[in-house]
Amino acid sequence: MRKNNTQPRAPVLLAITAIVSVFMISPMLLSVMAGLVNNYSVGLKSGLTLRWLGEVWEVYGGTVGWSLALALICVACTVLLGVPCAYALARSHSRAARIFEELLTLPVAVPGLATALALILAYGQISAFRQSFAFILVGHIVFTLPFMVRTVASAFERHDLLALEEAARTLGASFRQRFLGILVPAVLPAIVAGSLMVFTLSVGEFNLTWMLHTPLTRTLPVGLADSYASMRLEIGSAYTLVFFIVILPVLWGLQSLAGLLQKRHGT
């Protein structure tokens, strides 16, 4: 007698999932549609157009490159700072390390406007720094670094890595050889996962960026808010479409890389 190995269906859960998906995706689809019609109040009857996309690119096109550059540089900085910090926190069990870890995560709990105000009070008097994208970059690093550290630190705490590091130490491997040759490759999937999180948070960060930006240092989210506040609804919606067109391929690429490393190295 053959056993039925098929899993029982859950129509209620499937229906709830479908309803939630439609509820979340519908506003984005409506926003995209509003950026592709001549007149949103008339709807599709007014005809489709790429005019609003052209106007968005003409006025705010510069924000695209700067946002991507800031996010990528932020990822690089958080990797360089966060991976060694994550290792130190994972290996230390002192009270000072725990206090430092809590202080490191403080910018996540504090509103972005408060963090931005603190940066302005501390470094706002340096005019060249204040008026540059580097000032926004510092804010993004302060905000995203805890996510990189927490993600990678949990990978460093694996028991098999502790045993592997101890074995390499007994065989005479230096700290540099152990760290760069054994530990970092072993936690590479966690580093990529943290990088994906940092990139997503950086490129979409608004509150902190809005406080730190100047008229010459706008990013995608700041430009999006400006377009909704000062221009036609169709232009703001077209800006949303530009945001999707620019960001989604990068996110899909990073997610594919993370999945590939997960298959090869595991966690």
**At 37, is the secondary structure helix, strand, or coil?**
strand
Cβ-Cβ contacts under 8 Å for 118 (sequence gap 6 or more): none
Contact 259, 57 (CB under 8 A): no
Segments of the chain scoring below 50 in pLDDT: 1, 267
pLDDT for residue 267 = 46
Contact 56, 239 (CB under 8 A): yes
Q: Is the dihedral of CA 186, 192, 198, 201 positive or negative?
A: negative
Tokens of 26: 């519908």
Place of tokens 């105000």: 117
**At 48, is the secondary structure helix, strand, or coil?**
strand
Question: CB neighbours (10 Å) of residue 65?
Answer: 11
pLDDT for residue 107 = 84
- CA 185, CA 192: separation in Å to the nearest integer? 11
- CA 10, CA 86: separation in Å to the nearest integer? 41
Contact 50, 35 (CB under 8 A): no
pLDDT for residue 137 = 95
Contact 239, 222 (CB under 8 A): no
pLDDT for residue 100 = 86
Tokens of 135: 């000032």
Residues in the chain: 267
Q: Is the dihedral of CA 137, 138, 139, 141 positive or negative?
A: positive
pLDDT for residue 249 = 83
What pTM was estimated for this model as a whole?
0.82
Burial class (CB in 10 A: 0-12, 13-18, 19+), 173: middle
Query: Bridge partners of 37?
Result: 48
Per-residue pLDDT tens for 227-266?
877 778 888 888 888 888 888 887 788 778 777 766 776 5
